[in-house]
Amino acid sequence: MINRVKNHLKNPKNRINIILKMSISASLASLGIVLSTIVVFVPNMEFISVTIFLVSILFGIYYGLMVAVSISVVYEFIIIAIIGSAGYLIFFKLICYIGLAVVSGLMRKIFLRLSYWELGVFGSFFAIIYDILTTIGYQIVVIRSDFVFQYLLVLLGTGIIFTITHVVSNFVLFSFTKTMINWIYSAFKARGIKQLMIPSIYDEETIASVVSEGGKT
Q: Residues with Cβ < 8 Å from 40, sequence gap 6 or more?
A: 79, 80, 83
Total domains present in the chain: 1
| CA-atom Rg of the chain in angstroms | 19
Give the CATH number of the domain where residue 179 resides.
Answer: 1.10.1760
DSSP 197: -
CA pseudo-torsion sign 196, 25, 14, 61: negative
Q: Could you tell me if residue 3 is inside a domain?
A: no
pTM score over 0.95: no
Mean pLDDT rounded to a whole number for the chain: 81
User: Distances in Å between the alpha carbon of 65 and those of 16, 60, 69, 103?
Assistant: 20, 9, 6, 10
Give the model's pLDDT for residue 214: 46
- Is residue 191 predicted with pLDDT exceeding 60? no
Q: Is residue 207 part of a domain?
A: yes
Q: Is residue 167 part of a domain?
A: yes
pLDDT at residue number 119: 95
Residue 2 lies in a domain: no
Residue 63 belongs to a domain? yes
Domain enclosing residue 194, as ranges:
10-213
148-185 pLDDT tens trace: 677 777 777 887 888 899 999 999 999 999 888 888 87
Percent above pLDDT 90 for the chain:
43
